[in-house]
Amino acid sequence: MEKKIITISREFGSGGRTVGHMIADRLGIPFYDKELVDQIAVESGFAPKFVEEHGEHSPGNSLFSYAFAPQGVPGVMNGLSTADFLWNIQCSVILQLAEQGPCVIVGRNADYILKDRPDALHVYVYADMAFRADRIVRRYGESDKSPEARLQEKDKRRRVNYQHYTGRTWGQAQNYDICLDTSDLGIRQCADIVCGIVENSKKPRDPSQD
């Protein structure tokens, strides 16, 4: 079946976002990353920065559970925690985007949200610690914490969020159609491999080769 929707789940600093961007450019289809955050912000009433910072956080983080309901929309959260409220909107936005046509969606557990679409190709992008540490320093600069500590913190948040909302283990190969280590394969080659799969998916498959 032709693959039209590509979801990219990625370790922070692995270059997964860049891989996704290259694929979208190459295939001439929309790329949703920040755009997704903006749309969730519009539909939820939260500020984009808040959605970006909290949408992939641990749902059990008591500092923000129930704390910051959007102004002017009383009762809109229906008793849900902020995280659950954002999750519901995130699901609905991602399902709608996939309905609109071919696209690349980065992050936000889109692999799980679109798991029942046979035209979706689910990609997981990761890299070794040294590669990721180098990239985040080049991209976001130094901070008080070591790059390794920043990566571990982010990994933990994504892992807990993913486990909570999907019941799956973050980084388990079986959740995806293909998993790619950018530190070993290089970012461009990872994009090439995914584009090749999308191109091949347009041809009929020969079942005798399975």
Judged by the rule CB under 8 A, the positions of this chain that interact with a copy of itself are 15, 121, 124, 126, 131, 135, 169, 171-174, 176-189, 193, 196-197, 200, 205-206, 209-210
Cβ proximity to a copy of itself, 39 vs 183, nearer residue: 183
165 with 107: CB under 8 angstroms? no
What's the min distance (Å) between Cβ of 58 and a copy of itself?
Answer: 21
Cβ proximity to a copy of itself, 128 vs 153, nearer residue: 128
Cβ proximity to a copy of itself, 18 vs 44, nearer residue: 18
Distance of CA 145 to the CA centre of its chain: 24
In whole angstroms, what is the distance from residue 48 CA to residue 64 CA?
A: 16
What's the min distance (Å) between Cβ of 79 and a copy of itself?
Answer: 37
Q: Return the HEC string of 28-49.
A: CCCEECHHHHHHHHHHHCCCHH
Residue that the structure tokens 């959605």 belong to: 51
Q: Which residues lie across from 105 on neighbouring strands?
A: 7, 32
129 with 151: CB under 8 angstroms? yes
Cβ proximity to a copy of itself, 84 vs 134, nearer residue: 134
What's the min distance (Å) between Cβ of 140 and a copy of itself?
Answer: 16
What's the min distance (Å) between Cβ of 136 and a copy of itself?
Answer: 13
86 with 44: CB under 8 angstroms? yes
